[in-house]
């Protein structure tokens, strides 16, 4: 998503040229290119798929909408398995229109995980609940902290449900380092993503993530937290940024690799 202006073949080629060996994919471009074709493309380029983004949106109250959401999430699990990744990132969903009941919405997520967890496990896929920054609580994700995400995840086996840690969403939270340790101890630290925090936030607050090093987040410290908790998996860089999307994708990817080396490596 950091370089969504690149086609998947261009992405694969650019990654290979930069020594990037693994990549997280979003569903929309995978659907457009074809799931099997994407899997082949990545395999042929020597690229491992780290995670598939995203399942979720599990908070609807309407029965038809709930059934549709479960179906869509089963398809996302199938796609993840086909792409060879063991991790499906979940963005849980916001409040249904007119609702003010955050607690009820979180319980409906738990209900859905009870169905989707075993299905994912059967297909070799782990669900990774991603807490989103509290500014998205109403319209995108009622799970706003790692503590909330783990409270949900821990109702299910760790092989079924864990969490995603994204620095953009948790950096302000003084409890997050402790919750990362809790997640690691429970074998639930399933994905780790980097983005920096810059201001002012744009209207709608969706496309204002900062390039690594441009903002307020001590990225190296957060990498230290997850590694101290036993995380040895891939580190994704996920930048939703209209300015980056307007530039040449290969240039942005090159810059991102350089920023990663400078701000997130030892």
Identity of the residue, 20 or 205, whose beta carbon is nearer to its own copies in the bound complex: 205
Interface residue with its own copies among 103, 232, 246, 266 (CB under 8 A) is 103
Beta bridge partners of 162: 128
Of the candidate spans 32-40, 57-65, 93-101, 158-166, the one that interacts with its own copies by CB under 8 A turns out to be 93-101
What three-state secondary structure class fits 12? helix
| Contact mark string toward its own copies, 130..149, x via CB under 8 A | ---xxx-xxx--x-xx-xx-
Identity of the residue, 7 or 61, whose beta carbon is nearer to its own copies in the bound complex: 61
Asked if residue 109 binds its own copies (CB under 8 A), the reply is no
Asked if residue 110 binds its own copies (CB under 8 A), the reply is no
Q: Provide the phi-psi class of 20: left if phi over 0, else alpha when psi is between -120 and 50, else beta.
A: beta
At closest approach, how far in Å is the CB of 219 from its own copies?
Answer: 9
Helix axes 35-44, 63-83, angle to 10 degrees: 30
For the chain, report the end-to-end CA distance as a whole number of angstroms. 25
Please report the DSSP string for 181-220 in residue order.
Answer: HHHHHTT-EEEEEE-EE-SSPPTTSSSBEEPTTSSS--HH
Of the candidate spans 58-66, 157-165, 167-175, 234-242, the one that interacts with its own copies by CB under 8 A turns out to be 167-175
Question: To which H or E segment does residue 142 belong?
Answer: none
Interface residue with its own copies among 63, 64, 100, 246 (CB under 8 A) is 100
| CB atoms inside a 10 Å sphere around CB 113 | 23
Which residue reads 């929309």 in tokens? Answer: 28
Asked if residue 201 binds its own copies (CB under 8 A), the reply is yes
Asked if residue 173 binds its own copies (CB under 8 A), the reply is yes
Identity of the residue, 177 or 234, whose beta carbon is nearer to its own copies in the bound complex: 177
User: CA 79, CA 37: separation in Å to the nearest integer?
Assistant: 12
The site for its own copies (CB under 8 A) is made up of: 95, 99-103, 133-135, 137-139, 142, 144-145, 147-148, 171-175, 197-205, 215-218
């Amino acid at each position: 998503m950091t370089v969504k202006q690149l086609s998947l073949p261009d992405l694969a080629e650019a990654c290979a040229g930069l020594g990037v060996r693994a990549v997280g994919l979003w569903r929309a471009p995978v659907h457009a290119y074809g799931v099997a074709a994407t899997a082949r493309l990545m395999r042929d380029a020597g690229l491992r798929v780290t995670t598939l983004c995203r399942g979720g949106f599990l908070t609807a109250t309407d029965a038809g909408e709930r059934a549709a959401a479960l179906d869509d999430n089963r398809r996302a699990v199938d796609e993840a398995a086909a792409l060879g990744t063991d991790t499906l990132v979940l963005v849980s969903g916001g409040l249904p229109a007119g609702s003010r009941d955050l607690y009820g919405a979180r319980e409906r997520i738990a209900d859905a995980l009870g169905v989707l967890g075993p299905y994912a496990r059967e297909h070799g896929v782990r669900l990774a609940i991603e807490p989103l920054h509290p500014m998205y609580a109403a319209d995108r994700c009622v799970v706003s902290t790692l503590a909330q995400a783990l409270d949900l995840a821990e109702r299910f086996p760790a092989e079924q449900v864990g969490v995603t840690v994204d620095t953009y969403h948790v950096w302000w939270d003084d409890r997050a380092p402790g919750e990362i340790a809790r997640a690691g101890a429970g074998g639930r630290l399933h994905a780790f993503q980097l983005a920096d925090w810059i201001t002012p936030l744009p209207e709608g607050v969706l496309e204002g993530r900062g390039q690594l090093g441009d903002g307020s987040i001590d990225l190296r410290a957060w990498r230290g937290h997850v590694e101290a908790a036993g995380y040895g998996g891939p580190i994704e860089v996920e930048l939703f940024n209209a300015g980056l999307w307007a530039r040449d994708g290969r240039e942005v990817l090159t810059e991102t690799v350089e920023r990663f080396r400078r701000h997130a490596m030892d």
